[in-house]
Amino acid sequence: NASLAEVDPEIADLIQKEKHRQFKGIELIASENFTSKAVMEALGSCLTNKYSEGYPGKRYYGGNEYIDMVESLCQKRALEAFGLNPEEWGVNVQALSGSPANFCVYTALLGPGKKIMGLSLAHGGHLTHGHQSETKKVSASKETGLIDYEALEKAAEEFQPNMIICGASGYPRDFDYVRFRAIADKVGAYLLSDIAHTSGLIASKLLASPFDHSDVVTTTTHKSLRGPRAALIFYRKKYEEAINFAVFPQLQGGPHNNNIAAIAVQLKEVNSEAFRDYSRQVIANARALGLALSEQGEKFITGGTDNHLLMWDMRPHDLTGAKVDKLLDKVHITTNKNSLVGDKSALNPGGVRLGTPAVTTRGMKESEMVVIAGFLLRSVAIAKRIQGQVGKQLKDFLPALENDEEIDQLAK
């Protein structure tokens, strides 16, 4: 019964430090959020002690009567959160996180040798949406960053994917699910919608719903949904057996019951008016932040946002996303570098992704976004000024070199 601080002061101290880091900074990472005390309580509960391989009513271990109820309640709330009819849709709540959830879907519906097609990294896609030769990357239009649906259709016809993935980690606009469905039908592909980033906003009915048009929908539970780190896999009933079998026993063993309980707790909150107000504020804040920065001449992929995130283009400043992200970290503003449409190398991305779910949970509103925009602008201005001065004031030692040959010449 000894406390963590007594048993392991080192880890206790690091947790304390991380807590301070989280609470004293401005958290603008679009995929992060602060979950509630109630969710944390469920996460830290005795449910972590239990093995329950299998599904409610069909377990490989005894003693699962309460675990069955927790899992069934979580499933019921998940379907309710997205207004789904249990006759048509089922949900698997055992996937350990978003990436394994997507691999469970690929395992269930595709198997080896089949082809998937999704948005490329620089155009907003996630790594699990395909990064190999048997995948196809969907193009966004070069000038605006918006998805070019005609190009998507052409690419699908040429590539003949077995599954098209609609969803992103860095796309600031909504998706045309009707169009995605039509293209998938044209080539006989499944349509998987990965709503990891926007599921909270979709549950709050502020963005289009993918359910009418998709075969399977996956989401993480820890981003705009504000729950614990885990994932949900929604499937049309005809895929139930295949999806459940892929999760257990094909790719996972015993479910993490404490996580499932914590998802259920969060889904209860998602089904409330207070959560809808929160989601509305997330979008209002993203727009306010974008507007305050645009008014000062800053550029964004697609020109702004309809959701919770902004893809800020640092290239007009001759700065890299990595530099700005590092600099902001030093002043307790947390963001992440991100590849943008038109970037030559994913290793040196030109963008910084900004998101508002976490600051909105902290209670911030539009006026605070204007203050944050001011901090961001001042930080970038300093980086730019110093970068410029280094070259200018030390020009005899640091000439502006254009290419490898000039550098090699100097090296001699």
Given the rule CB under 6 A, which residues bind ligand PLP? 31, 97-99, 126, 128, 167-169, 194, 196-197, 220
Beta carbon of residue 192, minimum distance to ligand PLP (angstroms, whole number)? 10
Q: List all residues 6 or more positions away from 254 whose beta carbon is below 8 Å from its beta carbon.
A: 51, 52, 53
Active-site annotation holder among 194, 269, 325, 343: 194
Beta carbon of residue 412, minimum distance to ligand PLP (angstroms, whole number)? 46
Beta carbon of residue 301, minimum distance to ligand PLP (angstroms, whole number)? 16
Cα 213 to Cα 15, 81, 192, distances in angstroms = 43, 17, 9
Beta carbon of residue 188, minimum distance to ligand PLP (angstroms, whole number)? 24
Instruction: State the number of CA atoms in the 13 A half-sphere of 390 facing the CB.
Output: 7
By C-beta, is 64 or 107 nearer to ligand PLP?
A: 107
Active-site annotation holder among 77, 136, 173, 223: 223
Beta carbon of residue 221, minimum distance to ligand PLP (angstroms, whole number)? 9
Active-site annotation holder among 50, 229, 276, 384: 229
Beta carbon of residue 334, minimum distance to ligand PLP (angstroms, whole number)? 15
By C-beta, is 64 or 221 nearer to ligand PLP?
A: 221
Complete edge-to-edge strand list for the sheet that includes strand 309-313: 299-300, 309-313, 351-355, 336-338
Supply the DSSP symbol for 250.
I
First to last CA, the chain: 67
Strands 309-313 and 336-338: unpaired
**Residue 168 φ/ψ region, left for φ over 0, alpha for ψ in the -120 to 50 degree band, beta for the rest:** beta
CB contact at 8 A, 197 and 354: no
CB atoms near residue 387 (< 10 Å):
14
By C-beta, is 169 or 360 nearer to ligand PLP?
A: 169
Supply the DSSP symbol for 267.
H
Nearest alpha carbon to residue 43 among 70, 6, 5: 70
CA distance 16 to 21: 9
By C-beta, is 334 or 387 nearer to ligand PLP?
A: 334
CA distance 146 to 136: 18
Following DSSP, what letter does each residue of 113-173 receive, concatenated? Answer: T--EEEE-GGGT--GGG--STTEEEEPBPTTT--B-HHHHHHHHHHH--SEEEEE-SS--S
Give the residue at shortest CB distance from ligand PLP: 98
SS3 111: coil
- Tokens 């961001």 correspond to what residue? 376
By C-beta, is 72 or 97 nearer to ligand PLP?
A: 97
Beta carbon of residue 403, minimum distance to ligand PLP (angstroms, whole number)? 37
Query: Residue 246 has which token pair?
Result: 């892929």
Active-site annotation holder among 32, 50, 51, 149: 51
By C-beta, is 47 or 105 nearer to ligand PLP?
A: 105
By C-beta, is 167 or 200 nearer to ligand PLP?
A: 167
Following DSSP, what letter does each residue of 35-60 receive, concatenated? Answer: --HHHHHHHTSGGGG----EETTEES
In sequence order, what are the beta bridge partners of 352? 312, 337
Beta carbon of residue 326, minimum distance to ligand PLP (angstroms, whole number)? 20
Is 220 assigned a catalytic role?
yes
Is 51 assigned a catalytic role?
yes
By C-beta, is 194 or 269 nearer to ligand PLP?
A: 194
CB contact at 8 A, 130 and 117: yes
Nearest alpha carbon to residue 327 among 265, 274, 288, 385: 385
Q: Which residues are catalytic?
A: 51, 53, 194, 220, 223, 229
